[in-house]
């Protein structure tokens, strides 16, 4: 059985073997369980294996709660981390069809017997697991024999049912009592691939035709977006290297228009993108208007990514490394006409694209990041001229990082006026507070947007 080789659906060719891919997948899963990000782990996978391993790892992490609970039944004495990760990986990929009520992504490219045999072969390939190959074989074959009963035993296990940490689920139940189940379901589905057309170089209609001529089905979304029917490597996108488009979710594409809407901005208006890396929103602002834009980020290495992004898109901005919470280190004393603050957050709204995030975050991170967001707002507000505007954004669905943060800010600042803005956008088809939700073809990532005008 063969499947198309996309970032979310790897080829099932036996060269490289599935066993080899599973071995690297298990290493990634083990790394996440030990607190390491996939952005750190995946680059260490050999390039030829990386697309397949990424797709397998994403699928495992989307079903990690279920798989981990099942492995706990199959092996009451938790095995060594490498063996545990391999078992969880194999069980997650065997969960087809998904357990009733459990949100899971369909991934049925591999027959069950192939998965079991290749998982055992993977165990034999490495010294950390080779002595446990027979144990892996026994556990997986027991799962196939007893899966109905084993799965039924998980009926009251929230983490196994929804594949998110319990604290995360309970917070969503409080924050979004009418939508929490839909949010969790959407978060376990792959997000669509959406492009932003660079209107300085082409029109959306023209670029849509270019893509269709290349055999790629697309659908317009928002003002500048095109959503692909199936994800593609950027190398397959005509004109990508020349700057005709960028990859950016429809929710993220709302930031620049929200900051600029409703005004005729004079050429050279001073704008700050306060947490700018990797530069997608910076570029979108420059595609929409002639601005004197400062793109700031605390990490000098991430600033290099901003510069690379702008060069590819044939755009220019001042790029500077600096801590937005400490303006004394970078601000020239001249007020800004507009500020975009896409603040550091839990990333709870984009876990369909980054399924490791849910397993890396801790409950205490929410309050810690909310405190960071508050410091940034307090530091940047004095830099905005009277009559200016600030857009506050997070890619989070938690109210502590969204509506609660905004309400607290407005209480502290009598010169702040809340203007119309999307508010909480919920991922996928989970619904939205302001009716901006695009309910077709995957919807938005989860985001929060507020626009604050200064008297």
* pLDDT tens digits for range 248-259: 999 999 999 999
Does 91 map to a domain? Answer: yes
Same domain, 228 and 122: no
Report the CATH number that the domain containing residue 102 is assigned in CATH: 1.10.940.10
pLDDT of residue 4: 37
Same domain, 158 and 266: no
Does 259 map to a domain? Answer: yes
Among 226, 247, 268, the domain-final residue is 247
Q: What do you get for the CA distance between the two ends of the chain, in Å?
A: 63
Does 187 map to a domain? Answer: no
pLDDT of residue 131: 94
pLDDT of residue 3: 39
Q: Which residue has the higher pLDDT, 178 or 109?
A: 178
pLDDT at 91 over 80: yes
96 pLDDT tier (thresholds 50, 70, 90): low
Does 114 map to a domain? Answer: yes
Quote the percentage of the chain above a pLDDT of 90. Answer: 88
pLDDT of residue 442: 56
Same domain, 291 and 407: yes
pLDDT at 108 over 70: no
pLDDT of residue 428: 82
Quote the percentage of the chain above a pLDDT of 70. Answer: 91
Same domain, 326 and 378: yes
Domain around 310:
252-454
pLDDT at 2 over 50: no
Report the CATH number that the domain containing residue 201 is assigned in CATH: 3.30.70.1170
pLDDT in tens, 74-84: 998 999 999 99
pLDDT of residue 434: 41
pLDDT of residue 430: 67
Does 311 map to a domain? Answer: yes
Q: Are 74 and 142 in contact (CB under 8 A)?
A: yes
Does 186 map to a domain? Answer: no
Same domain, 309 and 438: yes
pLDDT of residue 105: 41
435 pLDDT tier (thresholds 50, 70, 90): very low
Same domain, 385 and 329: yes
Same domain, 329 and 343: yes
pLDDT in tens, 159-200: 999 999 999 999 999 999 999 999 999 999 999 999 999 999
Q: Are strands 194-197 and 245-247 parallel, antiparallel or unpaired?
A: antiparallel
0.85 exceeded by the pTM?
Answer: yes
Cα 94 to Cα 96: distance, rounded to the nearest angstrom: 6
pLDDT of residue 104: 40
Give the lowest-confidence range in 64-68, 266-270, 289-293, 442-446: 442-446
pLDDT in tens, 362-409: 999 999 999 999 999 999 999 999 999 999 999 999 999 999 999 999
pLDDT in tens, 31-55: 999 999 999 999 999 999 999 999 9
Q: Taking residues 204-227, report their average pLDDT.
A: 97
Does 286 map to a domain? Answer: yes
Among 206, 228, 247, the domain-final residue is 247
Catalytic residue IDs: 395
pLDDT of residue 16: 73
3-state secondary structure the chain: CCCCCECCECCCCCCCCHHHHHHHHHHHHHHHHCCCCHHHHHHHCCCCCHHHHHHHHHHHHHCHHHHHHHHHHHCCCCCCHHHHHHHHHHHHHHCCCCCCCCCCCCCCCCCHHHHHHHHHHHHHHCCCCHHHHHHHHHHHHHHHHHHHHHHHCCCCCHHHHHCCCHHHHHHHHHHCCCCHHHHHHHHCCCCCCEEEECCCCCCHHHHHHHHHHCCCCEEEECCCEEEECCCCCHHHCCCCCCCCEEECCCCHHHHHHHHHCCCCCCCCEEEEECCCCCCHHHHHHHHHCCEEEEEEECCHHHHHHHHHHHHHCCCCCEEEECCCCCHHHCCCCCCEEEEEEECCCCCCCCCCCCCCHHHHCCHHHHHHHHHHHHHHHHHHHHHEEEEEEEEEEECCCCHHHCHHHHHHHHHHCCCEEEEEEEEEECCECCCECCCCCCCCCCCECCEEEEEEEEC
Report the CATH number that the domain containing residue 405 is assigned in CATH: 3.40.50.150
Does 394 map to a domain? Answer: yes
Same domain, 57 and 100: yes
Give the lowest-confidence range in 4-18, 129-143, 435-449: 4-18
pLDDT in tens, 256-272: 999 999 999 999 999 99
């Amino acid at each position: 059985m063969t499947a198309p080789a996309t970032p979310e659906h790897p080829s099932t060719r036996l060269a490289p073997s599935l066993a080899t891919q599973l071995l690297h997948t298990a290493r990634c899963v083990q790394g996440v369980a030990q607190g390491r990000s996939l952005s750190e782990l995946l680059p260490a996978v050999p390039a030829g294996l990386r697309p397949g391993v990424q797709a397998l790892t994403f699928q495992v992490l989307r079903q990690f709660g279920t798989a981990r609970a099942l492995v706990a039944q199959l092996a009451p004495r938790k095995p060594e981390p490498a063996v545990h990760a391999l078992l969880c990986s194999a069980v997650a990929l065997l969960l087809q069809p998904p357990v009733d009520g459990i949100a899971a992504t369909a991934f049925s490219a591999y027959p069950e017997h192939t998965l079991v045999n290749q998982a055992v072969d993977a165990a034999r390939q490495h010294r950390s697991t080779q002595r446990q190959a027979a144990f892996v074989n026994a556990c997986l074959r027991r799962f196939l024999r007893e899966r109905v009963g084993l799965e039924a035993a998980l009926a009251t296990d929230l983490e196994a049912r929804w594949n998110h940490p319990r604290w995360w689920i309970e917070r969503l139940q409080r924050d979004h009592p009418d939508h929490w189940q839909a949010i969790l379901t959407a978060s376990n589905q792959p997000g669509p691939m959406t492009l932003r057309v660079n209107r300085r170089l082409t029109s959306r209609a023209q670029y849509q035709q270019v893509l269709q001529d290349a055999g790629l089905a697309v659908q317009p979304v928002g003002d500048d977006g095109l959503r692909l029917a199936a994800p593609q490597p950027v190398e397959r996108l005509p004109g990508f290297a020349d700057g005709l488009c960028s990859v950016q979710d429809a929710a993220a594409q709302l930031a620049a228009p929200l900051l600029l809407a409703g005004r005729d901005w004079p050429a050279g208006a001073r704008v700050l993108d306060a947490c700018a890396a990797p530069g997608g929103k910076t570029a979108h602002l420059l595609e929409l208007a002639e601005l004197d834009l400062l793109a700031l980020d605390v990490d000098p290495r991430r600033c290099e990514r901003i510069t690379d992004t702008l060069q590819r898109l044939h755009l220019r901005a001042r790029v500077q490394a600096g801590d937005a919470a400490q303006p004394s280190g970078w601000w020239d004393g001249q007020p800004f006409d507009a500020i975009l603050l896409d603040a550091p957050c839990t990333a709870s709204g984009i876990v369909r694209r980054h399924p490791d995030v849910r397993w890396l975050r801790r409950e205490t991170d929410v309050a810690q990041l909310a405190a960071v967001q508050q410091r940034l707002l307090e530091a940047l507000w004095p830099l905005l001229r009277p009559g200016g505007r600030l857009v506050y954004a997070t890619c989070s669905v938690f109210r502590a990082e969204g509506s609660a943060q905004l309400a607290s800010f407005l209480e502290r600042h009598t010169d702040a006026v809340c203007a119309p803005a999307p508010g909480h956008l919920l991922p996928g088809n989970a619904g939205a507070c302001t009716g901006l939700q695009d309910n077709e073809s995957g919807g938005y990532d989860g985001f929060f947007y507020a626009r604050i005008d200064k008297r």
